[in-house]
Structure 1
Amino acid sequence: MPRFPRSLLAAVLLMFAAVACAGPDPDQTGQQAAPAGVTVNTSPEQHRVRAEKVDAIAALVPQAVRDRGKLVVGTTGTAGPPLSFRADDDTTVIGVEPDVAQLVADVLGLELRLEPTSWENLFLSVESGQYDAGFSNVTVTEERKDKYDFATYRVDTVSFEVRKDSQIQQIAEPKDVAGLTISVSSGTNQEEILLGWDEQNRAAGLAPVNFRYYQSTGDYYLALDSGRIDAYLGPNPTLAYHVAVGGTTKIVGSVSGGGDITADIAAMTRKDNGLVRALNEALNTVIQNGRYAEVLGRWNLGSEAVPTSEINPPGLPRKPAS
């Protein structure tokens, strides 16, 4: 499938912004259908946006990595579309995370080698040096900065998704979730935000949130479709994609992944291994030349773009010792 022309990218952006959209078309092999005939390519043949090598930045890469000629990048492959997920062949990992990693590898003059792995093993493998970097919707935190270096490339946003026919029109502040049944993934930033909001509501004498936890994204959506939950709080990219291709839900509010604190998504490397500056400069190169915008536009994440990549910005604060 050819790269999206600018006119089609514009149509895709309009499609994702709308909540009225058609369901999947079984006749569209390798595509997920959306309104007005616009489709999302979910086939293994992604024809990714590519960038040119920049010799001065490539020279910043540690010699061992240059000698290998490959940038080994870990990603979960299970974060869900459009982040990092399996194509229609159930093998090829596609999404915005692999696409950004590809741009960085191109600028560094390296072949990209993606390594799908679990969330837990991603951190262990970057720390051990098995992977050069992790690109998997990783949020910068002060605790993680003890072991890893970061080069930012997106802002972290979480959103509330409800059924299209829901009476809920907006969730913007704690009082808006009082008394609702909401599902959220355990151990995530979004759970921490919702727990904080619920605590504020209880202190103010408002009805508590009824928390519901499920094992997979599919389970969350079955619960939402059946009316067992009022809303689902999750990563904005995943929810925006589901709204666009599913056609049965809508987003009614978004907040920073850090709650009241700005949160950043970043490429992660082992602490002080000498690679983070090369990643940072490669990211700033593709931000400046427009390739980065093409990738984010392809996956409807233009709203999460950063004007510049930063190394080790302030992260989410440490959790108090129990």
Structure 2
Amino acid sequence: MSPPASRTLRAADLEALAVGLCLLGSGGAGDPQPFASVLRSQLGSGELVLHAPGGLGGASVVPVGMVGATSVFTEKLPHGGEFGAAVAATGRWTGAAPDAVMGIETAGLNGVTALVAALRLELPYVDADLAGRGLPRLDQLTWVTAQLPLTPCALAFPGGHTLLVDSASATEVERTIRAALAGTGGWAALALPPSPAALLDETACVGTLGRALELGRAHGSLRVLADAAEVAEVLGGEVLGEGRVHDVLRHSAGGGLQPESSVTVLDRNGPVLRIETENEFLMVLVDGEPRATVPDLICLLDRRTNRPLAVDALRRGDEVFVVVLPAPAWWLAPGRLDRVSPAAFAIDSPPLLLGGRP
């Protein structure tokens, strides 16, 4: 069933939205709450319309988001003009001001940043993005898979300066941004080149924010102390295990291409689960046998509260459910899976997806 032509977002929806965005983050993508508080204040008693791309005709849509270390963001807060500065820079370079805003990645923190940008810039928000879930690198976006350029793009830094990147491959954009962030405060607002709304049904994940809302609302319907099977059923996924975190091994990432940690969970029914991670949860092995991988959404939830847990928040002794949810459908079409498969994270395993899809 296709998503509705439009839906609305109100301040009362933001708690459910934040939970859904954490689930789509698959343990990564940052905490949406800092920007959710800003968004709640901006919305007040009003609402924001979430437009489907097909309803905007020939409108030009600019993807925006935050790049860099999400942990640094809470220490060096935005002054409020970063997204406007980045969008204005791409507009000056291309000679065309955008008609609407969309997200680069509708998961975690970036699931809210584009909403804040849309309200601040007084532009319509399009419910589409270039990832459909949490992804760590710009060279993994849907536009790259669809052979569309990421340039000209612009970065606006919290210090007030702006950097524009043009005529660069996706890999070069990723490297340039990483190098720039190292000396400029750790994060920046990013605006990619505008795209016709009519192209987004083929080149972007459509309806991701709607999916986050639905996941968050379903999560909110769970009873207190729901069991693992109930949690998985309500969220539309599958249980991989439940038990106690026995160990969390963290090590350097080798340039961001190697798993940064592995988490061992002792299942209450006997098996041992090992979860490989980078910024997100990437693969689950049960007694040494791979059971789930990216791009499906691997989620660890607190057994007492059902709240999704972040990779960097896991500690020994945590009681967790390990659940897997379906990957965004966009990635399952022919020729797309390799960019977000385990091999894209230097893990030697074929993709293992719910129900054997595609």
Give me the TM-score of the superposition, normalised by structure 1.
0.28
Give me the TM-score of the superposition, normalised by structure 2.
0.26
